[in-house]
Amino acid sequence: LQKYVKHHFRTKRPMMVWGPPGIGKSETFQQITDSYIAEGKKAKLIDARLSLWDPTDLKGYPYYNKETNRMSFSSPDELPTEAEAAEYDIIVLFLDELNGAAPATQAAAYQLILNRAIGKYKLPDNVVIAAAGNRETDKGVTYRMPKPLANRFVHYEIRVDFEDWLTWATNNDISPDVVGYLTFAKSDLYNFDPSSNERSFATPRSWAFVSELLDDVEDFTDEEITDMVSGAIGEGTALKFKAHRAVASKLPNPTLILTGEVTTLKTKEISAMYSLSTSMAYELKAVYDQIGRDVTKEEFDGMLDNVLGFMMKNFDPEMIIMATRLVFVQYGVTANLRKMSNWPEFMKNYGHLIKEA
């Protein structure tokens, strides 16, 4: 989706992104804006929730202009002026919940979307337009989009994809317990059923809530933690996640694996092992970022060598591939592999699988 969106931004062609709730539609456009900033551009996201807007919020509020003896309109603050736009290389005008806006508001958006102007206001050249909304079948607050407005967009419908979520989750330090459990139980990443009366259900967004809930819970009992998790993802999934955490809590500290103090793993519960592999990858990345300050390159290479030896001794190939790809590809870790005692055996046994992955 990001590739398509950036192409349409270059050609100034508005697009409408459809999808169920909680899967990251709004987050995608924030990521795209952030990627422009990472490229060295000055970029800004204007997140306009059109479901909260009236038609006058788009066209501007009418007032009597005594100098011209005519009715004029004051442009809304959310829409940038030429002077404001000149401070940026690109401004993303994101019309979120577009089909949740009242029909009159959607009608007011016609001209802005197609002609990049509404009334006397004109969008500056470096402003690009995108929109998003839930589908009618998702049972949210939506209005059927008028055909003339729909025809002004290129339409995309997105779905949940575990591999994409895993990349996002590990880049954003989502709890290893959450990542480990969902790597084992991928179907629980998203279980939204629009026909269900359940108020809480699992989505990528609500799993991010769970990750936040697990921070600083030393004063909470397991039952209290499960109550909070149930409020985010539903009772059934929360009980399964509780069972996973009970096993994962008995795993060794990943730091002790890096230092070589722990070399064996007693439990063989798969979801817990996934949590440990994610924790080790997180820990390696944290140590890697400290090279030159609190740790030397040689010390880090030794820690990585210990991890490779531990994985070969205790993990199945699928977990080894996931953890290795996370460390070397996603986190961009480099090391002096030829000086590692475990590297020749590791490449002999898993090299072809790593290359394929």
Residue 141's pLDDT is 64
65 forms beta bridges with: 70
Question: pLDDT, tens digit, for every residue of 193-243?
Answer: 877 778 899 999 999 999 999 998 889 999 999 999 999 999 999 999 999
- Where residue 137 falls (left for φ over 0; alpha for ψ -120 to 50; beta otherwise) is alpha
Q: State how far Cα 74 lies from the chain centre.
A: 36
**Helix 162-171 and helix 176-184, axial crossing angle in degrees, nearest 10:** 170
Residue 220's pLDDT is 93
- Find tokens 């050249």 and name the residue: 125
**Helix 176-184 and helix 204-213, axial crossing angle in degrees, nearest 10:** 140
Residue 285's pLDDT is 93
Pairing of strands 127-133, 90-96: parallel
Q: What tens-digit pLDDT sequence spans the chain (357 residues)?
A: 889 999 999 999 999 999 888 888 888 999 999 999 999 999 999 998 888 888 888 877 788 888 888 888 787 788 899 999 999 999 999 999 888 888 888 888 888 888 888 878 899 999 999 999 888 776 666 778 888 888 889 999 988 899 889 989 988 889 999 999 999 899 999 988 877 778 899 999 999 999 999 998 889 999 999 999 999 999 999 999 999 999 988 889 999 999 999 999 988 888 889 999 999 999 999 999 999 888 999 999 999 999 999 999 999 888 898 899 889 888 889 999 888 999 999 989 888 877 776
121 forms beta bridges with: 118
Q: Please state, in angstroms and rounded to a whole number, the distance separating the CA atoms of residues 157 and 18.
A: 5
Residue 355's pLDDT is 76
Residue 104's pLDDT is 84
Residue 68's pLDDT is 86
For the beta carbon of residue 137, count every other beta carbon within 10 angstroms: 10
Q: Which has the closest alpha carbon to 5: 114, 126, 128?
A: 128
Residue pair 308/296 in contact (Cβ under 8 Å)? The answer is no
Sequence-separated (6 or more) residues with CB below 8 Å from residue 209: 232, 233
Q: Which has the closest alpha carbon to 118: 211, 40, 53, 28?
A: 53
Q: Please state, in angstroms and rounded to a whole number, the distance separating the CA atoms of residues 347 and 342.
A: 9
- Going from the C-alpha of 12 to that of each of 113, 154, 271, the distances in angstroms are 10, 11, 45
**Helix 176-184 and helix 235-248, axial crossing angle in degrees, nearest 10:** 110
Residue 93's pLDDT is 94
Beta strands, E only, the chain = 15-18, 43-49, 61-65, 70-74, 90-96, 117-118, 121-122, 127-133, 154-157
Q: Please state, in angstroms and rounded to a whole number, the distance separating the CA atoms of residues 337 and 16.
A: 47
Q: Give me the phi and psi of 239, to 5 degrees please.
A: -70, -40
SS3 content of the chain, % helix, strand, coil (to 5): 55, 15, 35
Burial class of residue 193 (count of CB atoms within 10 Å of its CB; 0-12, 13-18, 19+): exposed
Residue 148's pLDDT is 85
Sequence-separated (6 or more) residues with CB below 8 Å from residue 197: none
Please give the DSSP secondary-structure letter assigned to residue 76. Answer: P
Q: Please state, in angstroms and rounded to a whole number, the distance separating the CA atoms of residues 20 and 305.
A: 43
Question: pLDDT, tens digit, for every residue of 142-191?
Answer: 778 888 888 889 999 988 899 889 989 988 889 999 999 999 899 999 98
Q: Which has the closest alpha carbon to 132: 9, 18, 3?
A: 18
Residue 38's pLDDT is 93
Residue 107's pLDDT is 83
